[in-house]
């Protein structure tokens, strides 16, 4: 049988696909390879996946109603990672989030429903951004998440509600995963580690918001992949809730300035800091309570930022030849 993986050209999608292929799975990747960030990076990821005979790419936009329908044959599991990412981008391009995150998620749910009893599990990406203005740390899946502070967060909360409704109405087994600040090799250029490395090497100041008083639960990509696959391999049984939500984080809230210090150390260069006020839609701190994912998924992150940052910088130097 086959796993349908949306967002295959993405950062997390590529790594998840590689892990699935390495264990002998057949994967149909779906991606529209849009230009939200450098298409060459997405194509380079896809080139790596294309080396596997068990991988097939379909250049499809999940927001196009019915576009997924022809792929239903033989699919028994879905990993839905495709989405319009980025909190700040949602301030200027809200329509992209309506299309990819709302219409796209609905279309994937309808595709899953069309498979019927042949679908054994669907795992989809949510986000730690759903915790919005919550001030209680660490963030627990039992916390109320009714106060999003960005449109991106609102669409991710909407995805969870849509999935719950489809599980309740149609019995679709689903697992939603709230990712906490994922970083690592092949990462996105719009994320902190990539931005900081690029600007430090170019001798440009790096923007640091809230005057540096920020904390993030930075989670290395290998740990996220392990969590995604664990969720895929543990579908709910008939007597369990058919829709479950978990945090996937490193269970550590790191100071942003410490994160920058490790990048400086790995690059062998000091950063010029441009301290700025808090940006709209941003939050001061994130910190994952992973008790539920540890208990139910066996999730156990193992990579502290002191190990993960040098791995990211080594990839960055190789990819950019710097």
Active site members: 152
Let me know: does 84 contact 36? Beta carbons within 8 Å: yes
Query: What does the block give as tokens for 143?
Result: 């916390």
Secondary structure, 3-state, the chain = CEEEEECCCCHHHHHHHHHHHHCCCEEEEECCCCCCCCHHHHHHHHHHHCCCCCEEEECCCCCCCCCCHHHCCCEEEEEECCCCCCCCHHHHCHHHHHHHHHHHHHHHHHHHHHHHHHCCEEEEEEEHHHHCCCCCCCECCCCCCCCCCCHHHHHHHHHHHHHHHHHHHHCCCEEEEEECCEECCCCCCCCHHHHHHHHHHHCCCEEEHHHHCCEECCEEHHHHHHHHHHHHCCCCCCCCCCEEEEEECCCCCEEHHHHHHHHHHHHCCCCCEEECCCCCCCCCECCECCHHHHHHHCCCCCCCHHHHHHHHHHHHHHHHCC
Taking the C-alpha atoms of 244, 248, 254 and 260 in order, what is their torsion angle to the nearest 10 degrees?
-130
CA 64 – CA 60 distance, rounded (Å) = 8
Query: What does the block give as tokens for 258?
Result: 């410490």
Query: What does the block give as tokens for 317?
Result: 């130097």
CA 194 – CA 183 distance, rounded (Å) = 9
Q: In sequence order, what are the beta bridge partners of 247?
A: 178
């Amino acid at each position: 049988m086959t796993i349908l993986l949306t967002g295959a050209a993405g950062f997390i999608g590529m790594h998840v696909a590689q892990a699935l292929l390495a264990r002998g799975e057949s994967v149909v990747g779906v991606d529209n390879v849009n230009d939200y960030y450098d298409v060459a990076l997405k194509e380079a990821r896809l080139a790596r996946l294309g080396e596997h005979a068990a991988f097939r790419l379909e250049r499809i936009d999940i927001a196009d109603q019915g576009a997924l329908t022809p792929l239903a044959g033989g699919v028994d599991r879905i990993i839905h990672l495709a989405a319009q990412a980025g909190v700040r981008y949602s301030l200027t391009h809200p329509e992209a989030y309506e299309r990819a995150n709302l219409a796209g998620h609905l279309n994937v749910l309808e595709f899953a429903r069309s498979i019927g009893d042949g679908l054994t599990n669907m795992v989809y990406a949510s986000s730690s951004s759903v915790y919005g203005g919550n001030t209680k740390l660490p963030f627990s899946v039992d916390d109320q998440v009714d106060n999003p502070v960005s449109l991106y967060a609102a669409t991710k909360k909407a995805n969870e509600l849509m999935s719950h409704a489809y599980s309740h109405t149609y019995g679709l087994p689903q697992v939603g995963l709230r990712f906490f600040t994922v970083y690592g090799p092949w990462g996105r250029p719009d994320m902190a580690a990539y931005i900081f490395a690029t600007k430090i090497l170019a001798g440009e100041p790096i923007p640091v918001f809230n005057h540096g008083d920020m904390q993030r639960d930075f989670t290395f990509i290998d740990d996220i992949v392990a969590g995604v696959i664990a969720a895929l391999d543990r579908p709910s049984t008939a007597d369990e809730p058919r829709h479950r939500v978990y945090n996937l984080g490193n269970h550590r809230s790191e100071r942003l300035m410490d994160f920058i210090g490790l990048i400086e150390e790995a690059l062998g260069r000091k950063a010029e800091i441009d301290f700025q006020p808090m940006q709209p839609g941003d939050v001061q701190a994130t910190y994952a309570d992973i008790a539920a994912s540890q208990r139910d998924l066996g999730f156990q992150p193992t990579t502290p930022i002191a190990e993960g940052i040098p791995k990211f910088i080594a990839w960055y130097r190789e990819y950019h030849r710097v």
